[in-house]
Structure 1
């Protein structure tokens, strides 16, 4: 009997302690920055630009005259409708082009250039709006 009583008291006490918690009240919290943190260095240029070389075809034939060798890609999708949605969202400012690679991935090209330097410069201009933009080189 003593053993059962002791186990019951232990169980109740542990359940009580587990269920107790300090309630948090809503209110202003102060965020304190550590003095030991190193200052963030500006990322003026990544060590290695994200560049890919692929064969692709146009999703819409009317875009053929606007495609060149170096293309600034702002989105890559396995679903065509997602690519169309991104293209339509950029329409007031740009007129993106959708291409399809050999693996069936839909790439949304914001703009196309004849030189790599121009494409790289455009990426540095749009990095705030499209942080994952990269250069797609058209393989013949």
Structure 2
């Protein structure tokens, strides 16, 4: 019978595979919680964690101090979890305003403002506005933290 010699090595291999799978270390609590915090950049400089609710209403300004807009919410790009500030510009009394998603990768907290180095207000005139049905973004809840550099 040829089947007996083949079954014994196959059964032995199956046991070793299941033991190896069970001996994998469980992820640490730090690895498990990394996904719930949104980082804007490597933490090479001093940083601070602010909740989305504390960021709402803050002014987003360019590096030269030019006002870009007021933060209405924080978005995360779904493919790579990059954070974006959702701002409104233009309009009158809430009518005709356009929403834009501004990247926060190079953002710095400066008092009650968030300064971005790679965006100027004038650049937004030709940019396509944010569409809330866009699956490339999801809005963060008010209690979620966002880590920003301190200025």
TM-score, structure 2 normalization: 0.27
Higher strand share: 2
Q: Max radius of gyration: which structure?
A: 1
How does the TM-score come out when normalised to structure 1? 0.28
